[in-house]
Amino acid sequence: MMENLPGNFPFVAAVLLMGVALYILIFRRNLIKIVMGIAILSSSVNLFLVTLGYRAGGVAPIYTEAPEGPMVLPVVQALTLTNIVIAVATSALILSLVIRIYRHTGTLDSEKSRRMKG
């Protein structure tokens, strides 16, 4: 891996983002920060998927007015688009739940707003 670190850097960046997101999800208590953690996790997986498809010197995988040269893989781009759509739906749902929890309990701190323990 070290011999091609400039070429492999997007993978390293994706894993670092995943680490940041997991740190936020485990150690942060503010509900909005948890939502941001899920968004960052989703972005890291998207970055990982798009980087998987890259071929050196490749162009976008669209035949309309395409320049010469090899094309990058299109399947992973479809996977990434689907994941973005799913992330939009998840974010909408989770933000509306956060608003409801705030209305009911008056706080956004997950330690103070939780009512079910044990």
Partner 1 sequence: MSKIVRTVANQLILFVLILGLYVIMHGHVTPGGGFQGGAIIASGTIMLIVAFGSGEIKKWLRERHLSVVESSGALLFSLLAFAGIGTVFFFNFLIGSRVFGGTPPTGPNPGDVWTGGVIPLMNLAVGLKVMAGLSGVVLALALFSSGEETDE
Partner 2 sequence: MATLIEHSSILIIAIPLLAAFLTPLIGMASKKARNVLVMASLAFVALLVFALARDVILNGIHVYTLGAASPGLTTPGGGVAPVRIILEVDAISIFMGITVALVSLVAAIYSLSAMKGETGQNRFYTLLLLMVGGIFGMVFTGDLFNLFVFLEITSISGAALIAFRTRSADSQEGGFKYIVVSAVASLMVLFAIGLLYAQYNSLNIGALAAAMQYTMLDKIALVILISAFAMKLGGVPMHMWLSDTYSVAPVSITVLLITASQASMYALTRTCFTLYGVTLDSAAVGWIIIAIGILSMFIGVTMAVRQTDITRLIAYNCVCESGFMLVGLGVGLAVLANPEALAAYGITAISGAIFHMINHALFEGLLFLAAGAIFYRIGTRDLNQMGGLGHTMKFTAILFLLGALASSGIPPFNGFASKILIYQSVYQFNPILTIIGILVSIITLAVFMKAFFAAFTGASLPQYKGTKEAPKTMIAAMTILAVIIIFFGLFPGLILDGIVRPAADALVDQSPYINAIMGAIP
Site string for partner 2, 68-107 (x = CB under 8 A): -------xx--x--xx--x--xx--xx--xx-xx--xx--
What's the distance, Cα to Cα, between the start and end of the chain in Å?
45
Cα gap 100→86, rounded to integer Å:
21
| Residue ranges that bind partner 1, judged by CB under 8 A | 60, 62-67, 81, 85, 88, 92, 95-96, 99
Would you tell me how many other CB atoms lie within 10 Å of the CB of residue 69? 9
User: Cβ closer to partner 1: 1 or 62?
Assistant: 62
How many residues make up the chain in this entry? 118
Residue 65's binding partner out of partner 1, partner 2, none, with CB under 5 to 8 Å set by partner kind: partner 1
